[in-house]
Each structure stands twice: as C-alpha cells, then as structure tokens.
Structure 1
Amino acid sequence: MSVQERKQRERAVRERLIVATARELAEQQGWDAVTTRKLAERIEYSQPVLYSHFRGKREIIGAVALEGAAEMAVAMRTATGAAEGPRERVAALAGAYLDFAAHHPAVYDALFQLDGGLAYAQEDTPEPLKDAFAAMLESLGEVAGDGVHPGLFTETFWAALHGIATLTRAGRLPPEGAEQRVELLVDRLALV
C-alpha cells in the first residue's frame, strides 16, 4: 500500500468517526449539543482536523443525513421485500418509515428538519437521498391509481408519513391510534 493510499484510508476512517460521533451526540443530547469543540474533544482530534473534513456543523449534519437516507432506504426495502401483495407492501413501507423516524430522531431531523446543505428534488440531489425516495416509489408507484403520476403520489404519501412522524414525536398526536392512522392512510391513498 502506498503512502497516499494509507493517508486516504486514514482520512476516511477519521471522517466516519466524526460523523458517527456527531450522530451519537445528537441522538443523546440533541443537535444543539453538537459543536466542533465537543466533537474534537470526543474524537481526540483538534478542531482544525475537523475543519479539514467538514467546513462546519452544516456539512456534518448533511453527512449524517446522507448516511441516514441510505439506512432508511435499506429499512424500507427490507420491510417491503418481506410483504406479500401491494397493500401489505405499502403498510410495511409506512411502518418502516415511521419506525425509523421514531428510533433515530436526530438522523430524521438531519434528513428533514435541519439544513445540511443538501439539494432535495433537484438534478444535483445526492444519490442516497434519491435512493431513499426510490425505495418508496418502488412500493407506492404500483398503488398510485389510474392517471396519477407515481412520483407525485409518492411525494404526497411521504408528506403524510412525515406529518404523522413529526406530530407524533412532538406529542401533538396521541400514541393511541397510531396503527389506525397508518391503516387509514394506506386504505385511503393506496388504491389496490
């Protein structure tokens, strides 16, 4: 292995450590607790080392979001892959999405609430974000209904899931009725 290859590998390891540490700190204490100073202390590198990887917190949030999007896509595909029939796939997708949002709140915030400097629904949207949307489209496209654009339907269904996830987490929707909300969403929007 060349010196250049070793340095690149070490840099990648440091970058993964920064992202993992930021994510862990955000999940434990919220994103306000994530500062370059705290990250530098936790990973035992100087702040200039952090800045050699990321220009600041915004880019770190973006990196956490991209990692989270990839994980969310896997979770949705895993859930829908085990389901039989279109309605079951849509219900499994909704469940996987809401479970991810509930169990990874800081990652979910990085994806959808905070500014990580990422482009959404544009030509330059990063691949992990496109793939997470594609994971939804794979199951939702088949239930969009006649004359409805599958992408538009997926955006609408996603917006409904996001609303449920956000309102539930904020305590604005009571925990009882959670399953019925998903069933209602699936039954009313997914035409199977």
Structure 2
Amino acid sequence: MKAPTKAQLARAGRRDRIVAAAREIAEVDGWPAVTVRRLADTIGFSQPVLYGHFPDGRDGIIRAVALDGFGRLAELLTAADGLGELCAAYLDFARAAPATYEAMFSMPTDLEFARPTTPEQLRAGFAPLLAAMGDETGAEILWSALHGLADLSRHDRLRPGHAAARVDMLIGLFRPGRLPS
C-alpha cells in the first residue's frame, strides 16, 4: 500500500479539524449551535470546503462525530479490566462527552447497527460488551442497561447519590449462573 500523499494528508487533517470543531461546539452549546456556517467561521474554512468534505452537510458531520465517538468508546471499553471497569468506562464516557454520546445514540443518522453494513467503529464499540458477556443477547442487554443508566442520568431522572449502587446492582445481575443460558 502506498503512503498517503501530502494532499491526502492535508484533506484528512481538514476533515479531522471539522469533526473536532463540531464536537467542541456541540459539547459547549449543544447540537442546534452546530451549523456549517458556524463551523466555517470557527475553523477558518469556507462553507464550500466543508461541503467538499461532507456533501450532506450537517448530517454527515454528525455522522462523523458519532463514528469518532464509537472509536473512542471502543478504546476505553477495550482497556477496561473486568465488567465493573467496563461499566464505569461506558458511563464515564457518556457523562464526559454528552453531545458526542447524543450523536452516537440519539440523533437521527444513517448508521446501521447489527447489520452486515454496520461500520467498523460500531462493531469495535460493541466487541468489548460481547467479550464481557460471551453472547450477543447478553451483550445487547448489558448495552441497553448501560444506555438507559447513561440517558436517565444525563437528564437528571435518577437519584445522583446512588450511581455506584446502581452499577454494583447491574454487575450483580450479570453474575455467572444468574442469567438463563
């Protein structure tokens, strides 16, 4: 495989700057503040440059932020040692990057989960859950529970002083022999 050209590296660098700026704006001001015009002003590119990288505009940028988020989440979950650390890493990520988490799971995108066309970043994000549980159904149940805890906590729907107890209880529910086989 050939090494990337300077032009390809420059293009990738511009794309990365666009995604990073969108994520930063969303984390501070929310997704409604992320517009192609604001991004162009923030990073000093013209709007046509942004559309050159993301022909579908804001939707493509949100998709790219989501994919980047899945890649970052996969790294954190893969580094976790045991189910407790995995759960903590997932919930810490959701808490630390709420706009990215929202792009990954709540905003409309064309990302397909559990399909032959599922992007590699999504598969990588699911792989540590699958490894921890040993089967897809168990991994989906764990993911669903973690997502519910993350989303309910983000919207202040749960008692804040009980976060650790909820995670401990969740881990207890997934003890070997506790789930049907």
Q: 1:120 Cα deviation (Å)?
A: 1.2
Q: Of the candidates 156, 162, 165, which is equivalent to residue 141 of structure 2? A: 156
- Between 1:181-190 and 1:32-41, the stretch displaced more is 181-190
Q: 1:189 Cα deviation (Å)?
A: 2.4
Q: Distance in 2 between matches of 1:167 and 1:190?
A: 24
Q: Distance in 2 between matches of 1:6 and 1:77?
A: 32
Q: Distance in 1 between matches of 2:49 and 2:109?
A: 20
2:21: which partner in 1? 21
2:65: which partner in 1? 64
Q: Distance in 2 between matches of 1:190 and 1:99?
A: 22
- Aligned-pair RMSD on alpha carbons? 1.2
Contact 2:132–2:139 under 8 Å retained in 1? no
Q: 1:169 Cα deviation (Å)?
A: 0.8
Local SS of the residue matching 1:139: helix
- Output one character per residue of 1:40-92: Cα deviation in whole Å (capped at 9) or x when no partner: 00111111110001121111111111111111111112122xxxxxxxx1111
Local SS of the residue matching 1:123: coil
2:121: which partner in 1? 128
Moved over 6 A (4+): none
1:118 counterpart = 2:119: no
Q: Of the candidates 120, 142, 152, which is equivalent to residue 167 of structure 1? A: 152
- Output one character per residue of 1:122-148: Cα deviation in whole Å (capped at 9) or x when no partner: 11010010011002111121xxxxxxx
Local SS of the residue matching 1:118: coil
Calculate the TM-score normalised by the size of structure 1: 0.87
Calculate the TM-score normalised by the size of structure 2: 0.92
Structure 2 unaligned residues grouped into runs of 5+: none
Local SS of the residue matching 1:177: helix
> Paired residues, what number?
173
Q: Distance in 2 between matches of 1:190 and 1:61?
A: 37
